[in-house]
Amino acid sequence: MAINLTRRNFLKTASIAAAGIPLSKVVARAETGIAKAPLIPPGSFKDTKTVTGGICEMCFWRCQLVGKVRGDRLVKLEGNPKSIDNGQNLCARGNSGIKLVYDPDRLKYPMKNIGKRGAPKWQKISWDEALNICADKLQATIDKYGPKGIAVWYHGASAHYPNAYFDYLGVANKYEPAFYQCRGQTAMAMMQTLGFVPNEDVDMPNSKAMLLVGCHIGENIHLSHVKNFLKGLENGSKVVVVDPRFSAAAAKAHIWVQIKPGTDTAFLLGLMNYMFDKGIYNKTFAKKYCLGLKRLKKHVAEWTVEKTAAECDIPAKQIVEVAELLAKNAPNVSIHPGRHAAWYGNDFQRVRANACLTAILGAMDCPGGIVRIKRMSSGHVHWPEVDHEEDPEEMALAEVVEKYPFRPPGTPPELMRDTMISGKPYPIKSLVVWGTNSIKTMPRQERTEKALANMDFIMVTDVTPTDITMWADILLPEASYLERYDHVEKGTQWNQGDKPQQFLSARMPLIDPMFERKDPVWIINELAKRMGHGKDIPVRNQEEYVNHLLKETGLTIAKLRKLDGIYIQPGESPYLKKGEEPKFDTDSGKIELYSEAMEDEDFPPLPTYTKTTEPPKGFARMIYGRSPVHTFNRTANNAWLAREIPENPLWINDESAKKMGLKDGDRVFLENQDGKKSVSSTVVKTTPGIRKDCLFIAHGFGTFNPAMTVGYHKGIDDNSLNTKINREGETGISGMRINFVRIVKDGKVIDIPA
């Protein structure tokens, strides 16, 4: 079925397509000249050498790359031609890594804040002084409160070694936004149902049909994943996209289901009920490998086509059409598990429903289905095990264990933040932030700022001066992913009829870091020495760290260099062999449609739909996603990317906009249901490609640190408007699409039509 576009320009609207001293001025003017964007003079590249071994981290998909280096300057990035993953391709973000390296706003030296947190005044200090202060302050916290007095907020590959050190110290409370504002529900619900976490391992190239529920493929630009999606389209796969917005993926869909926000679980339950009622599910697979099939049938029986259509505000015929399409092509269907899942506070159950739909179609371990990729193994670097007076597991906030039994790793950040403010059940008085901008990730920013103000000490390590750096007492400059060793990437590629291959690569620097930027192994080792733990340091430097990760493979950095940065060997097919039985690492050994573990914890044992709050009169639900060339706030200061998309346009339904007197390009602010107004503004984008009951904006814009001279106050910070919290019972994760907004133009509030 083709989408019937009734308005001429529809496709054109699709999304493909401080008080204190600014950090850039802390260094002498002459020194900043080196940080200008590199220019490639006319002529050949005869004086340019190719350096292999790079792994991108402009997002976290980690494509393999090579660098073109002239003298000591990186002048171009390309995909590694030896890669069987991304090949010679890089996306816009990957290409723009050069502009990250040479960003004049980048952190250059260790800094001490001699002003106020949130309104810093920076003083350049030596590494020796910076690390002495950090060691003294952190040790003082441990001496007074124990390791539980320290909290760690972290993200990215460079945080792995530091995280291991804080485990060694016995730090109990840690927070990673990848779990608590992104994919935590996906991981935990899939684990609870299937017994493993499929991540994005879906065999889209060999599918006959794909179902994407809110997946923004084509906007997240996970390069090899996008290539797999497009390969599936080339091979004739039929695509269904369920999304309130005409996303990049919806622009490629055969069926676009413009669903009411928050009702996705009801849609999935309705699909299953129709399949059960018509007998078009995979009866053999479901009967043999699923636990609770009869109970699930009875449970979803209320979700008739008519009830589902009414609840989801979609045509009833679409439900029938989607169910018939998936059933017809089962088991070779890609029911994508999704990635970002922190939507409405009913998301664990939605992902459970997604897994159950996959199961009754038998779309497991077969062409087109969820597959279990067999990757090469690599090692880990651990600090010595230490017996602490207080067990870190037991000292993690006790109510987390009791109230959120299916939580992902770490502590729900809002609970940790509450403890930092109240001191209950015990004081948390020092904070280490490594590679994450928590101002942009946690809802209720004013609570985050209050928690930061209540700390005795805050240490922040980062590459650029993001918003969170304004609250640091000591600010440490880290080498970028193009200037350090730190990560081993593994994967598999296969196609029916081809021999599967496995690859392994390790991140190696393409150039040396400038100024006084240091790698995380050096920083942590020097910190550990000053805290009296030098004898327990597991590796001496970043090269030894990566060689240790490679040890069990028999590879070394030197061997990988000779292999152009990538080792390739024959792989294993992800499909079941003839006569082979699938295995599921659940308590029952089967796919648990019905979960006794959830019932034991007083949660619904079958996937259950919970209604979300409706927008107040005059407001619309604020939904958010990715910009096609940005990685949230990580790239907000990248001049090359900002030139393409400098801010995050506000998508509003064109008919609603006409009633409100709005047109494309109008500059507006947003105000939420609690009266919180955005600090900065953005432009209006009118389109029939979004429902009338919601507005869409890309996340990560509206930087408010003036040290980020490119991204400062460009666009609206959607997270500043997340003042409501709806914490999910199963996981402790907060829904991030539960706030409502209206428009402010020229100082006047404009209600959104019902």
- Region 587-613: mean pLDDT is 97
**Integer angstrom CA distances of residue 195 from 84, 159, 192, 372, 702:** 29, 28, 6, 12, 40
- Is 70 exceeded by the pLDDT of residue 21? no
- Terminal-to-terminal C-alpha distance of the chain: 30
- Cα dihedral 677, 682, 683, 689 sign: negative
Contacts of 662 (CB under 8 A, 6+ apart): 652, 668, 684, 686, 743, 745, 750
How many angstroms separate the CA atoms of 63 and 631, rounded?
A: 14
In whole angstroms, what is the distance from residue 652 CA to residue 696 CA? 7
pLDDT for res 45 = 58
Q: What is the DSSP letter of 116?
A: B
The DSSP line for 187-205 is HHHHHHHHSS--TT-B-GG
d(Cα 109, Cα 130) in Å, to the nearest integer?
10
The H or E element spanning position 650 is strand 650-653
Please report the beta strands in 435-493, taking only residues with DSSP state E, as ranges in sequence order: 457-462, 474-477, 488-493
Using the predicted structure, report yes or no on whether residue 704 has a pLDDT greater than 80. Answer: yes
Instruction: Please name every residue paired with 672 in a beta bridge, in sequence order, or none if there are none.
Output: 741
The pLDDT of residue 391 is 84
How far apart are alpha carbons 214 and 202 in whole angstroms? 15
Q: Which of 369, 331, 346, 361 is nearest to 607 (CA)?
A: 346
Average pLDDT, the chain: 92
Residue 238 pLDDT level (bands cut at 50, 70, 90): very high
CA distance 668 to 683: 6
Above 90 in pLDDT, residue 310?
yes
Cβ proximity of 290 and 590 under 8 Å: yes
Read off the DSSP letter of residue 647: S
Sheet containing 111-113, strands listed edge to edge, beginning at the edge strand earlier in sequence: 122-124, 111-113, 474-477, 457-462, 430-434, 150-154, 173-175
Tell me the pLDDT tens digit for each residue of 251-293.
999 999 999 999 999 999 999 999 999 999 999 999 999 999 9
Q: What is the mean pLDDT of residues 370-381?
A: 92
The helix (H) or strand (E) run that includes residue 640 is helix 639-644
Dump pLDDT digits (tens) for 715-751. 999 999 999 998 899 999 999 999 999 999 999 999 9
Handedness of CA 141, 145, 146, 149 (dihedral sign): negative
Structure tokens at 335: 């029911």
Domains and CATH numbers, the chain: 106-176+410-478+517-537 (3.40.50.740), 182-373 (3.40.228.10), 620-750 (2.40.40.20)
Q: How far apart are CA 414 and CA 457, in angstroms?
A: 19
CA 520 to the chain's CA centroid: 21
Q: What is the pLDDT of residue 437?
A: 97
The values of phi and psi at residue 318, to 5°, are: -70, -35
CB 501 within 8 A of CB 569: yes
**CB neighbours of residue 380 within 10 Å:** 10
Of 196-205, 304-313, 350-359, 385-394, the range with the lowest mean pLDDT is 385-394
* pLDDT recorded at residue 499: 85
Q: Where does the pLDDT of residue 30 fall: very low under 50, low under 70, confident under 90, or very high at 90 and above?
A: very low
Specify the 3-state DSSP secondary structure of 476.
strand
316-329 and 305-312 helices cross at what angle (nearest 10)? 120
Residue range 395-420: mean pLDDT, rounded: 87
Is pLDDT of 184 > 70? yes
Q: Look at residues 499, 414, 440, 483 and name the one whose alpha carbon lies nearest to residue 734.
A: 414
Measure the CA–CA gap between 62 and 91, rounded to whole angstroms. Answer: 11
C-alpha 108/C-alpha 130 separation (Å) is 13
Task: Name the amino acid, one letter, at 3.
Answer: I
Which of 222-226, 241-245, 706-710 shows the lowest mean pLDDT across its residues? 222-226
**How open is the CA angle 244-250-251, to the nearest 5 degrees?**
130
The DSSP bridge pattern shows strands 290-291 and 333-335 to be unpaired
d(CA 152, CA 166): 8
Asked if residue 152 lies in contact with residue 432, where contact means CB atoms within 8 angstroms, the answer is yes
Amino acid symbol at 745: K
Q: Is the dihedral of CA 286, 287, 288, 290 positive or negative?
A: positive
List, for residues 325-350, the tens digit of each pLDDT value.
Answer: 999 999 999 999 998 999 999 999 99
Interatomic CA distance for residues 599 and 592, integer angstroms: 12
Average pLDDT rounded to a whole number, residues 441-463: 97
Instruction: Give the confidence band of 393 by pLDDT, cuts at 50, 70, 90.
Output: confident
DSSP string, 216-279: -TTTS--HHHHHHHHHHHHTT-EEEEE-SB--TTGGG-SEEE-PPTT-HHHHHHHHHHHHHHHT
